[in-house]
Structures are given as structure tokens and as C-alpha cells.
């Protein structure tokens, strides 16, 4: 079993190394962080959603912004569309495919950002959320894997993890989300990181 553990870790490392080699992708991550920072500066917010493990990633991303990441700073407005009562209500009344779109309709405004997380890029409820955001002139960012799925064509900004299995993709999603949060903090609260820079 030790050999199997080593293989899993090696596969994860390969995925990370492939991400490191893709300069264009790294530039997109930085561009998304810049976009989100500007949204906060202009009084807008971030909505984020995903299914299953991606839902927990969405909640984690939002709470790191409304709560605390590395440094003390003001709370930043981020909402994970993950409330169980909303999901079961909308799922029961309008169908599971509309759970996130209804959340976007309720909370989304022009200038806000919608971050969707989907390892395949093909989840119907995620696609409908993006379409709802587009009708509200929101910025749409997709964090996905494999080939990007339908989100490749629908999203304003696309971040694709170079992986083929859900577990490896989700591991890299967690890393990218933490990077985005840190880059946002560095842009909005540079004084908190001055000690790191000498």
C-alpha cells in the first residue's frame, strides 16, 4: 500500500507541475484575482457555487473572504450558494437544475462576480447559473478540469486544471482558490504583507 500512496502523491505532483508550466494559465489566475479585487473595491460581491465536493470548496472560498485568511483585515462580501433550505426549496419547486440560477437571480447584480466550480464543466445547474449571471451583466469565472466542458464557451474567464480525475482536479482547485484569496488580500491590503517583502 505504501507504493500506492506514493503513486497517488506522484500523480498529484505531476498535475501541479503541469500547472506550473502553463504560464498562460497562471496569468489567467492573476487576472481573475485582479478582477475580483476590483469588484470588491467598487462595492460589488462574489457569488460562488458548485456541486458535491465543489460545493464545499465554494463554501470554503466564501468563508475565507468573509472571515479571515492569513492577516487581519475587513470582511469581504462573498456568498456561497449552498444554503440547504434554498437548495431543497428550489429543487422541489423548480428542479435541481435551477438551484444556483435562482440564487444568482436573488443576489446577483451588475458588476458582481460569479465563480462556478465544476470538475467536468458540464453540470446543468452550473451552466444555468452562468447564463443567469450573464443576463445580469455579472463577470463569470469557471474553475474546472479536463477539457473545460460547456463552460469553456460560456464563461468570461476559464481556469482549467490539467487533470483527468475528479480527485486530482479538486486538489488543484483548492490550491487555486487559496491563491486567489491571497492575491486579493495582497492587492487590497498590501500593508499586511509588507513584512514578507523585507
pLDDT tens for 22-80 read: 999 999 999 999 999 999 999 999 999 999 999 999 999 999 999 999 889 999 999 99
Q: Is the pLDDT of residue 197 over 70?
A: no
Which residue from 186, 190, 164 is spatially nearest to 34, judged by alpha carbons?
186
Q: Where are the domains of the chain?
A: 23-189
Instruction: Calculate the alpha carbon distances from 181 to 26, 77, 156 in Å.
Output: 15, 12, 19
pLDDT, tens digit (0-9, with 9 covering 90-100), for 140-179: 999 999 999 999 999 999 999 988 899 999 999 999 999 9
Tell me, which fold does domain 23-189 have in CATH?
Answer: Rossmann fold (3.40.50)
pLDDT at 71: 84
Q: Rounded distance, CA 173 to CA 196, Å?
A: 25
Phi, psi for residue 151 in degrees, rounded to 5? -65, -20
CA–CA separation, 182 vs 156, rounded Å? 22
For residue 123, give the 3-state DSSP assignment.
coil
Q: How far is CA 162 from the centre of its chain?
A: 16
Amino acid at each position: 500500500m505504501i507504493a500506492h500512496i506514493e503513486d497517488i502523491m506522484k500523480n498529484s505532483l505531476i498535475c501541479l507541475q503541469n500547472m506550473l508550466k502553463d504560464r498562460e494559465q497562471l496569468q489567467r489566475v492573476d487576472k481573475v484575482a485582479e478582477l475580483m479585487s476590483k469588484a470588491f473595491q467598487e462595492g460589488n460581491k462574489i457569488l460562488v457555487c458548485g456541486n458535491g465536493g465543489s460545493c464545499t470548496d465554494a463554501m470554503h472560498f466564501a468563508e475565507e473572504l468573509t472571515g479571515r485568511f492569513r492577516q487581519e483585515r475587513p470582511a469581504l462580501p462573498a456568498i456561497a450558494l449552498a444554503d440547504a433550505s434554498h437548495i431543497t426549496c428550489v429543487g422541489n419547486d423548480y428542479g435541481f437544475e435551477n438551484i444556483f440560477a435562482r440564487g444568482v437571480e436573488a443576489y446577483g447584480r451588475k458588476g458582481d462576480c460569479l465563480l462556478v466550480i465544476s470538475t467536468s464543466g458540464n453540470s446543468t445547474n452550473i451552466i444555468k447559473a452562468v447564463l443567469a449571471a450573464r443576463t445580469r451583466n455579472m463577470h463569470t469565472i469557471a474553475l474546472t478540469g479536463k477539457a473545460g466542458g460547456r463552460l469553456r464557451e460560456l464563461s468570461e474567464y476559464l481556469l482549467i486544471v490539467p487533470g483527468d480525475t475528479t480527485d486530482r482536479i479538486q486538489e488543484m482547485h483548492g490550491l487555486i482558490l487559496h491563491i486567489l484569496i491571497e492575491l486579493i488580500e495582497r492587492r487590497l491590503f498590501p500593508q499586511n504583507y509588507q513584512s514578507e517583502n523585507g
